[in-house]
Amino acid sequence: MSIVEAILLTIVTASTPLLIAALGELVTERAGVLNLGVEGMMAMGAACGFAGAILFDSTLLGVLCGILAGGLTAALFAFAVLGLAANQVASGLALTIFGLGLSGLIGAPFIGARRDPITHLHIPGLSDLPLVGRLFFGQDAFVYASLLLCLGVGWFLFHTRKGLLLRAVGENQTSAHSLGLPVLRVRFVAILFGGACAGLAGAYLSLVYTRFWSPGMTSGRGWIAVALVVFAVWRPGWTFFGAYLFGAATVLQLHAQAAAIGIPSQALSALPYLATIVALVVLSLGRRRDTGAPGSLGAPFVPDR
């Protein structure tokens, strides 16, 4: 029972940054912008979040630094794709390379430093229940915040007027502009939200998941987050399911390596990314006609003058 509990707790920890980053990317893509720079924004959030926590000796301030770093990096992307109407795919790839390089420079002085574990929720009686106690009533604040964020994004997109406006902009930017909707403003806010979520996910990696900084610690999680949006058909509920599915794949390959089964460790390390590719291929075969993608996704927008 203790082994099963430990595995489940680790799955929750591994899935949380994927869920947060994917939700931010989902809102961005719902607005019609394809941001492939999630990996770079997560790396910036991880580096700046850890640096802020060390310098200010406060995990909360470190988290705020991570969110700010992700938002500022996203603003740079927004300037390129909205202000200059640059290609979104190329700009996103450039943002990833830029973010990985700059985060390595920022985090270099903090290699070897460590942070203490953050406080977990404890409800007397409930948190002490076998198996389900720590799983449901003993998590850290980030886990509960990610769940609330998932519910909040779903409510915003499908039950509010502003969510309808955002979806309208992403579905048909020309029609939205002709109706007087502020296409560029909506997309700018969506990009900033996606960047803030990616920065928060990165700060979680360095302040909670590992509690230290190392170059390249995002390890492709940003790319998985982008793939999760497609896997989830641009819906928050399926994003939650997908994040925990791929989080489980990540954790199970670690346990498989620890068990020293007769499979090369390199093949086991590739398991989460292989699962991502297989899931996307299966979904593509099952939805050839209707992928659920916003109609204006990836298309640059230049308003009439």
What pLDDT is attached to residue 148? Answer: 97
Alpha-carbon gap, residue 28 to 170, rounded angstroms: 9
Q: Residue 1: pLDDT above 60?
A: no
Buried b (16+ CB within 10 A) or exposed e, 127-146: beeeeebbbebbbbebbebb
Q: Which CATH number fits domain 2-286: 3.30.1050, 1.10.150, 1.10.3470, 3.30.70?
A: 1.10.3470
Q: What is the pLDDT of residues 12-43, one digit of tens each?
A: 999 999 999 999 999 999 999 999 999 999 99
Q: How confident is the model at residue 258 (pLDDT cuts 50, 70, 90)?
A: low
Q: How confident is the model at residue 288 (pLDDT cuts 50, 70, 90)?
A: very low
Q: How confident is the model at residue 231 (pLDDT cuts 50, 70, 90)?
A: confident
Q: What is the pTM of this model?
A: 0.92
Domain-by-domain residue ranges, the chain? 2-286
Q: How confident is the model at residue 128 (pLDDT cuts 50, 70, 90)?
A: confident
Alpha-carbon gap, residue 24 to 84, rounded angstroms: 23
What pLDDT is attached to residue 47? Answer: 96
What pLDDT is attached to residue 106? Answer: 95
Q: Residue 278: pLDDT above 80?
A: no
CA distances 290 to 38, 283, 285, Å, are: 25, 11, 11
3-class DSSP state of 53: helix
CA distances 141 to 123, 137, 189, 299, Å, are: 14, 11, 25, 37
